[in-house]
Chain A
Amino acid sequence: MSLLSIDGVWKHFHGQSVLRGIDLEVDAHEVVSLIGASGSGKSTLLRCVNLLETVDDGVILLDGEDITDPRIDVDDVRKRIGIVFQSFNLFPHMTVLDNITLAPRQVHRVAKAQAEEQAHELLVRFGLEGKARAFPDQLSGGQQQRVAIIRALATQPRLMLLDEVTSALDPQLVVEVLAIIRELKDSGMTMVLTTHEMSFCRDISDTVCFLDGGVLVEKGPPEQLFDAPEHPRTKEFLRSVVHSGRF
């Protein structure tokens, strides 16, 4: 059974369909990337999985459980999913440590000492030791984004959703964040991510999905999708990406 199973998902905004019958299976320990032009619906799909948006049709199963059922406990589902956004959305009034331990303590009822110990371990692991007492605006963009990833990891989610986590960063800082994602993959984390970093995407993904106008046009292993795309739209998109120097 897949860890995440998206089946025929539709989403409209103001009468415009943004997702048009998306089907996608994600197995445990798999890394799936969503690529596609701006506005193709990548972020919306992630937000639907995290129940920040309600789907208009279709089903999403997490560990076989229908999370699009209106009777579902939304907070309980979110406890099992970590999400990191393009702009970091750290809580500006809290220190790095408080940002990270908030959910473990308030949602998962972990004792303060234990939550802080785990947070420190994660900070060390991701090269941020010594930043525990800093406030978000005292960190560089790359550091903030790493904290955001750590914050999502601290609740030990089953699934991580990463929405363009590097696109607000300088090239030099992108490297730091990508290194973390790679480490997460090595540790066996299941991830669905959207990205404009094609070489990274190729490198890290088990499966790449190309979205166009809310339709999942083509998916496959990165070698196949990048080197031998079948659909004309995919070819066109990849050509434009090469032109814009993102590859």
Chain B
Amino acid sequence: MSDRISPVEGPGDWVKSERQHERERLRRSHGRRSASIATVSTVVFLVLVVWGVTSSPGWPRVAATFLDGEEFVHALPDVLSGFVLNIKMFLITEVLVLAVGLLVALARGIRTPAFFPIRALATLYTDIFRGVPTILLILLVGFGLPALRLQGIPTDLATLGIIALTLSYGAYVAEVFRSGIESIHPSQVAAARSLGLSHAKTMRFVVLPQATRRVVPPLLNDFVSLQKDTALVAVIGPLEALRMAQIHVAHSFKYSPYLASALLFLLLTIPLARFTDHLAARTRRRRGA
């Protein structure tokens, strides 16, 4: 096309200057000092916390009930088998929540008058189910739905729990998707529409692919929260981790089974939380650079 200006002849190979060596030495020693300060302050902090907790008057009692190793080991297999149900509920709910959330978000964006009822319904849905506390919703669905005695309504407690969690989290995730869709610059829509793409195709090929990428971190955040909220389903009684722990506690009057189930939840949520941070940091780096 046009004549390019040819690049200038640069200097020869780069040899690191003495000044640069000195700078890097300073940076390294600065880094080492920061690390040691961080270590010392962390150790001091931990010692203070442990000392504060163990010297409290109720500590011997708490230690005896919560830190009972024997009961911990005794309850762990049951709690673990209950936890498998939590994982199952979580995985199924997650898929359902994604589908519900996306459909509701899309329904809220429809501007065709014939579909007004759908749009209104979608708005009503998010308003209601974001407002009702999840635990209440689980009770309502868990005891209310079967009471209707309709054909085809599941009676399995875990399934009812999944329905309730899906209704609740679907509303949150719909809002996450919607904010993602709205964050795409209008010029992208204008560009797609001006090429002749319909509203639906603009969504499918241009808006959603960009929006989904943006909402992955907040979505994962909701999933971390969903993972632990599967324990709320305990209130209607399926034998998941918390319910199992409750049963053991009722027998032994030791609270270490609770500790066991708490640890299991942490084992699941912490990696996902770290992964979320990692993704968020990566997006930030990409945008910043």
Contact = CB atoms under 8 A, between A and B. Distances in A.
6 contacts: A52-B193, A75-B197, A76-B196, A79-B196, A93-B209, A93-B213
- Size category, A interface: 20 to 34
B188 interface: yes
Contacts of A75: 193, 196-198
Contact of A155 (B1, B195, B210): B195
Contacts of A92: 210
Contacts of A76: 196
Nearest to A80: B196
Interface stretch (A102-110, A188-196, A203-211): A102-110
- Size category, B interface: 20 to 34
A179 B3 CA distance: 12
Contacts of A52: 190, 193-194
A83 interface: yes
A127 B1 contact: yes
A91 interface: yes
Contacts of B191: 85, 89-91
Interface of B: 1-2, 5, 187-188, 190-198, 201, 205-206, 209-210, 213
B112 to A, nearest CB: 13
Of A103, A126, A155, A179, the most chain B CB neighbours within 10 A belong to: A103
Given A82-B195, A106-B201, A172-B5, 20 more contacts: A50-B194, A52-B193, A75-B198, A78-B195, A82-B194, A83-B194, A89-B190, A89-B191, A90-B191, A91-B191, A91-B206, A107-B195, A107-B196, A107-B201, A127-B1, A151-B195, A175-B1, A175-B2, A176-B1, A176-B2
A106 B197 contact: yes
